[in-house]
Amino acid sequence: MNDLGNDVRNAPEAKREESGEGPGEQTLRSMIAESFRGRQRWMAIISWVYVLVFAAVGVYSLVLFLKLAPDAPVKTMLLCIAIFLLMMIAAVTTKLWYWMLLNRNSVLREIRRLERRIDRLPGGAADE
């Protein structure tokens, strides 16, 4: 029964390898790791540096706000909270941009995979 279970689990992978599709869906961790290895690794590095800087400045401004005395000027309180909110929005926006970069790379990879499969079909672009 154990051999049968292994055969059932490995059947989709074997079928993909036979058809030349390559590995199935990539995990998020592998997509992020691949973004640091590709031609556009500088974009990934810069985006993560920006996220860390925005988050650090945001947390620092929040700490300043929490350390303010209750009789501190309202203007200072509002400034600390505004900086915190702006930095968090900037960090989230940068993360969204990075996510779109990962998504675009995934779509391009899938298009290339489909092009290779079409070329292998009888009457495909390679036969013309």
- Model pLDDT for residues 73-97, shown as the tens digit of each residue: 999 999 999 999 999 999 999 999 9
What is the reported pLDDT for 4? Answer: 65
Which pTM does this prediction carry? 0.68
What is the reported pLDDT for 30? Answer: 85
70 token code pair: 């209750």
Domain locations along the chain: 40-119
Q: What is the CA radius of gyration of the chain?
A: 24
Residues of 44-73 as b/e, b for ≥16 C-beta within 10 angstroms?
beebbebbeebbebbeebbebbeeeeeeee
Local confidence pLDDT in tens for the 128 residues of the chain: 567 666 666 666 555 555 555 556 778 888 888 888 878 889 889 999 999 999 999 999 999 999 998 899 999 999 999 999 999 999 999 999 999 998 998 898 899 999 999 888 887 665 55
Reported as half-sphere exposure (CB side, CA atoms, 13 A), residue 58 has a value of 15
